[in-house]
């Protein structure tokens, strides 16, 4: 992919296409016995719950500044079972992992224009900045937002209780395999699974059963603290609802990231790619880091990774802001907004995507390894609980 044909939506689509092609190629290369094992795993571990397009009810977010009617319709193709999964917050994540965003006004959006010619230089299809217009002052009620992006461990507990399908990514990296299934295998099978399924970069031929199990459990434990990704907007909504929370509105997300003064990045006005996970750090496999790994990336309210690591779903449809004269064929109730920039961008770690005002979008039924989420809660609901 060259700069001339690059934009965020196309990147997400191409990554998903490449991922599926990779699955097909591996299926032709691995031995029949390994494929049989993986099929058995999928049958045992993955429980199909029907179409992931699920009806998510009305928008509970505050402060939406889109010019359209409020986001009460979150998906006409959704089934009606999202609200049927009820569980306490304690079943999904620890109490106290949210930060308070106080009530009051903040600066949202921008009046920036592409003075540096970024669209021509990088071949962007979408003209930078224009969907952020006009800069405006928005007044929000107090709310809470997750300190970190929702992790794999939290999301796994949810889908196990709710009997929802595993993200496709988990079926390719070993994260969805139950401990008991691995312990029941013999050494020969464990060695094959360690290489072909877990992708362990070590000489498994010299490892005994205990060593193989330890290596695979260690990898799963590391992945526990990675942000949950490869989830659709409907998946994200369902998790937050089951936890007694909700997705943040676009305006809530932006205030939590930029502060009341509307600073350019969560940490301040100056771009520094070393402060956030932009995907350039070779330490992280696939460009994604454990949540909270970048201390200096904290927003004015103490929320981590609001620039970098993974993009984050918010409540809103991708719509023009109030009083905007900008038009885009992608506007309307067909794309949901994603925010924050993702480490999976890799060498496309351009500051534009990691700005607090930057808006991107994706179809609510689409899932990508670069897109995750965090939840929010209105202050009065948090106090009652």
pLDDT of residue 22: 46
- Residue 61 to residue 50: CA distance in whole angstroms: 27
Give the tens place of pLDDT for each residue, 45-60: 343 333 333 333 333 2
pLDDT of residue 286: 72
- Residue 249 to residue 254: CA distance in whole angstroms: 9
**Average pLDDT of every residue of the chain:** 80
Give the tens place of pLDDT for each residue, 296-314: 999 999 999 999 999 999 9
Give the tens place of pLDDT for each residue, 233-280: 999 999 999 999 999 999 999 999 999 999 999 999 999 999 999 887
- Name the residue among 27, 245, 76, 8 with its Cα closest to residue 147: 245
Which domains does the chain carry?
3-25+54-160+227-384 (3.90.1580.10), 30-46+167-224 (no CATH)
89, pLDDT greater than 80? no
pLDDT of residue 268: 97
Tokens 């409907």 correspond to what residue? 234
pLDDT of residue 282: 64
pLDDT of residue 343: 79
Among 193-197, 228-232, 253-257, the least confident range: 193-197
- Name the residue among 273, 259, 262, 284 with its Cα closest to residue 307: 273
Give the tens place of pLDDT for each residue, 354-377: 999 999 999 999 999 999 999 999
Band (345; pLDDT cuts 50, 70, 90): low
């Amino acid at each position: 992919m060259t700069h001339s044909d690059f934009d965020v939506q196309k990147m997400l689509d191409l990554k998903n296409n490449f991922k599926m092609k990779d699955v097909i190629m591996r299926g032709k290369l691995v031995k029949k016995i390994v494929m049989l094992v993986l099929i058995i795993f999928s049958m045992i571990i993955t429980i199909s719950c029907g179409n992931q397009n699920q009806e998510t009810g009305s928008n509970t977010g505050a402060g939406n500044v889109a010019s359209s009617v409020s986001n009460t319709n979150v998906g006409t193709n959704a089934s009606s079972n999202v609200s049927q999964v009820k569980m306490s917050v304690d079943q999904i994540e620890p109490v106290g992992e949210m930060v308070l965003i106080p009530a009051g006004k903040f600066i949202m959006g921008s009046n920036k224009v592409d003075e540096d010619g970024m669209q021509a230089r990088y071949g962007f299809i979408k003209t930078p900045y224009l969907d952020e217009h006009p800069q405006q002052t928005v007044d929000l009620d107090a709310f809470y937002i997750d300190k970190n992006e929702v992790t794999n461990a939290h999301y796994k507990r949810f889908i196990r209780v709710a009997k929802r399908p595993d993200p496709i990514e988990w079926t390719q990296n070993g994260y969805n395999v139950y401990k008991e299934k691995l312990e029941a295998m013999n050494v020969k099978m464990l060695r094959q699974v360690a290489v072909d399924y877990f992708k362990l970069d070590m000489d498994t031929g010299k490892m005994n059963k205990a060593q193989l199990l330890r290596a695979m459990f260690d990898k799963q434990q590391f992945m526990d603290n990675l942000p949950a990704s490869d989830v659709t907007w409907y998946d994200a909504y369902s998790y937050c609802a089951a936890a007694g929370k909700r997705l943040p509105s676009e305006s809530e997300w932006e205030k939590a990231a930029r502060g009341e003064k509307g600073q350019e990045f969560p940490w301040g006005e100056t771009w520094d790619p070393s402060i956030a996970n932009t995907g350039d750090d070779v330490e992280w496999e696939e460009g994604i880091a454990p949540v909270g790994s970048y201390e200096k990336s904290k927003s004015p309210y103490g929320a981590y990774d609001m620039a970098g690591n993974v993009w984050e779903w918010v409540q809103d449809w991708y719509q023009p802001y109030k009083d905007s004269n900008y038009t885009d064929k992608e506007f309307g109730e067909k794309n949901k907004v994603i925010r924050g920039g993702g480490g999976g961008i890799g060498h496309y770690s351009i500051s534009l995507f990691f700005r607090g005002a930057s808006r991107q979008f994706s179809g609510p039924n689409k899932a990508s390894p670069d897109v995750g989420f965090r939840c929010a809660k209105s202050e009065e609901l948090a106090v009652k609980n």
